[in-house]
Structure 1
């Protein structure tokens, strides 16, 4: 799946000459944590986040009164505190690549550019929702985490064993194991009891790490 399937289209934006206080108020009103900054030609020139505004704000220990702080923030413009070197992606970027870029760069959102124009944004919250879908977190079933040998066809054999036992797989993922010889399999199954799931997979795995009904 690509980011175009899960991005927020036509995101809320802001101009570079807007006071930082207005940017803060807009984020609060829209319940968002960042605003792409667009110039008069609708080109992305930066991004401003809640963290940027926090760093630009006077310290809580300041001797300034509320009026002085408000006056200071109203004079400070978005272009002076925004991040200018924005990491962007295209709409055909795979979701897992977007997640990797966010994690590797310790950022919370990626503007999506097509033909030089901003068409959307994907954030860590969007990817959390994808994670929930991938693991069937809103569906009931037996969730099994098992350590299994790193062998060709092993995942297919596991799926076949569950199907033969009468189970339906809600979600199926795998992760790096304890070493190069094994992997963790995380499976959610419905229409089987916990005992039946264990019985079906036991001959194919090294050990069960966790099993529970959720």
Structure 2
């Protein structure tokens, strides 16, 4: 999935000469947490967060607090060195940027011009969709040998039952390089027939656990 597929294209921006008061008003009116600061060519020259604005604002606990600080230009509190991403970057790859840098948002730039913005909330929503947890489904986790061809072998068992697969994830199995975990989400509220097929084929199920159902 590409960044351009999930980024917000309607972006609230400010020039560096805007006041902190203007930023505060835009943050509240639009219920956003970040404002990119751009120049006349729409190049990103900074970014300001709601925390930056809050820290620079007079305390609401002080009745006679000096309000003049709100008239300072936004460039006095903005972050100058802004990391940006490209619309054609893969979402899965920029997730690492969010994690490593502990960012809450990233401006999206093409040809040195701001074209969008992506937030940690956008990322979370995307991964919910990628994992298939946004639709009614059942989850099955299978321990398999780490070898070529094992995924289509397992998927064929679902196909034989004409079971629709919503998503597939692959995880390492502890620290053992000889095995991996396949996580399937399937569109059925009764996964037991295909679960039994997997057991009969000799696969180790991590979920549901690998204890066979009692026969009656």
Give the Å deviation of 1:58.
Answer: 5.2
Q: What TM-score results when the alignment is normalised by the length of structure 1?
A: 0.86
On the 8 A contact 1:148/1:204 being kept in 2, the answer is: no
Equivalent residue number for residue 206 of structure 2: 208
Name the counterpart of 1:126. 122
Shift in CA distance, 77/45, structure 1 to aligned 2, threshold 3 Å: same
Q: Return the match for 1:199 from 188, 196, 199.
A: 196
1:104 to 97, 100, 107: 100
How has the CA–CA distance of structure 1 residues 200 and 21 changed in structure 2, closer, same or farther, with 3 Å as cutoff? farther
Q: Which residue of 2 aligns with 1:187?
A: 184
**How has the CA–CA distance of structure 1 residues 206 and 59 changed in structure 2, closer, same or farther, with 3 Å as cutoff?**
farther
| TM-score calculated relative to the size of structure 2 | 0.86
Alignment of 1:140-155 (within 5 A): 140-155=136-151
Partner of 2:24: 24
- Alignment of 1:178 with 2:174, yes or no, is yes
TM-fit CA distance, 1:59: 6.3
**Which position in structure 2 is the counterpart of 1:52?**
52
Helix, strand or coil for the counterpart of 1:8?
coil
Out of 131, 137, 148, which is 1:135 matched to?
A: 131
**3-state DSSP class of the match of 2:65?**
helix
1:76 equivalenced with 2:72 (yes/no): yes
CA distance in 2, matches of 1:53, 1:204: 59
Structure 1 residue 24: deviation in Å? Answer: 2.1
Q: How many pairs were matched up?
A: 207
Matches of 2:202 and 2:128, distance apart in 1:
27
Tell me if the contact between 2:139 and 2:207 (Cα under 8 Å) persists in the aligned partners: no
Structure 1 stretches lacking a partner, 5+ long: none
Alpha-carbon contact 1:20-1:78 (below 8 Å) kept? yes
The answer as to whether partners of 2:13 and 2:35 remain within 8 angstroms in 1 is: yes
Return closer, same or farther for 1:149/1:56 CA change in 2, 3 Å cut-off.
Answer: farther
Distance, in Å, in 2 between the alignment partners of 1:24 and 1:210 is: 50
Rounded to whole Å, the distance in 2 between the matches of 1:200 and 1:97 is 36
Worse-superposed segment, 198-207 or 76-85: 198-207
